[in-house]
Homo-oligomer: A and B are copies of this chain.
Amino acid sequence: MTTLVTGGAGFISTTLIGRLLGRGDKVLALDNFSRGSRDNIAGFIGHDHFAFAQVDLSDLIAFRAAVSAHGGMGPVTEVWHLAANSDIPAGIADARVDLRDTFVTTFNTLEIMQEIGAKRLYFASSSAVYGDLGDKLLTEDIGPLFPISAYGAMKLASEAAISAAAEKFLDVALLFRFPNVVGVPATHGVLLDFMRRLRQDRCVLQVLGDGTQQKAYLHVSDLVDAMLLVQARSTARLDAFNIGPTDLGVTVRAIAAETVAVAAPGAELRFGQGNKGWIGDVPRFAYSTAKLQALGWRPSMDSLTAIRRAIREIAAQECVT
């Protein structure tokens, strides 16, 4: 029996697939390399239980053909759907990017699962489904859900489609609402952005907004631990879980200072105006992970520790590439 991972050459999949192979799964990874890369899966190529196909999952016919071509691996019983557009500003500039890469890929994943009889789905949703609810504590049952980015909107739309599919044919559908995740191989995000700017100008780091934006960050290793723990312990047929650290997060100001300390000691920090970096950026939120903790999970790193570790990992990654 085979586990299908969509977006299988992406940032989080690299860690996830390592764990799935480690527990003995056969893994079929699909990716269009829009954000993922062949480098990310290089370590798995040649593994007896690993197969990869480059395919655009928004193309249902190509998707079906890619799965069918690997039918020899045995039936797909479990799907980890991680494919999405992870470039939030790109989706804000053109909502069709998120429509295609985040929503249509989900819709097609459900179509394929129904066709091949795969009935267990694990979905990478996002805290972006909550939009900006001000100071409210974000528990999984809060509303109204008014996402403020096309990314968040298409993650919520995907949750909705999965929910209807759970009523129709899925046995298990678990929705993981991701926080900001850091680690390697980093393809985007505030840390990589800061590092790259400091390479262009090692004396000044200009920060969007006033730096008071505060966010929680989880290291990718803790994120994958959490998902596998929920898979093992949750008895729900359909449920959503916030995943995140248990602290309230760190400010952009603190992240900038940590990055400078590692990558360009002595560089000056300069800040902009306002507490939103871009349209669709939620300035601050309190993210409840009580439901996840009730299953027995604890993160191994808080936000600041995760950021510090990721900065060093990314610095090492940047030296290689």
Binding site for B on A (CB under 8 A): 92, 95-96, 99, 103, 107, 110-111, 129, 131, 140-150, 152-154, 156-157, 159-161, 163-168, 238, 240, 279-280
Q: How far is the CA of A166 from the CA of B148 in the complex (A)?
A: 8
Given the interface pairs A145-B160, A160-B157, the reply to whether A167 lies near B240 with Cβ below 8 Å is no
Inter-chain contact B156/A238, CB cutoff 8 Å = no
A285 → chain B closest CB, angstroms:
15
Residue of B145, B160, B238 near A152 (CB, 8 A) is: B160
Inter-chain contact A92/B161, CB cutoff 8 Å = no
Pull 5 A–B residue pairs with CB atoms less than 8 Å apart, ordered by A. Answer: A146-B163, A156-B156, A157-B157, A167-B280, A168-B279
Inter-chain contact B140/A163, CB cutoff 8 Å = no
Q: Using Cβ atoms and an 8 Å threshold, which residues of chain B touch A163?
A: 131, 145-148, 153
Inter-chain contact B279/A161, CB cutoff 8 Å = no
Q: Using Cβ atoms and an 8 Å threshold, which residues of chain B touch A140?
A: 143-144
Q: How far is the CA of A165 from the CA of B131 in the complex (A)?
A: 12
A287 → chain B closest CB, angstroms:
15
Given the interface pairs A95-B107, A95-B110, the reply to whether A164 lies near B143 with Cβ below 8 Å is no
Q: Using Cβ atoms and an 8 Å threshold, which residues of chain B touch A147?
A: 160, 163-164
Inter-chain contact A164/B142, CB cutoff 8 Å = no
Given the interface pairs A153-B164, A156-B156, A161-B157, the reply to whether A142 lies near B141 with Cβ below 8 Å is yes
Q: Using Cβ atoms and an 8 Å threshold, which residues of chain B touch A142?
A: 141, 143
A59 → chain B closest CB, angstroms:
15
A148 nearest CB neighbor, chain B only: B167
A155 nearest CB neighbor, chain B only: B160
Inter-chain contact A161/B153, CB cutoff 8 Å = yes
Q: How far is the CA of A280 from the CA of B141 in the complex (A)?
A: 21
Inter-chain contact B161/A160, CB cutoff 8 Å = no
A132 nearest CB neighbor, chain B only: B167
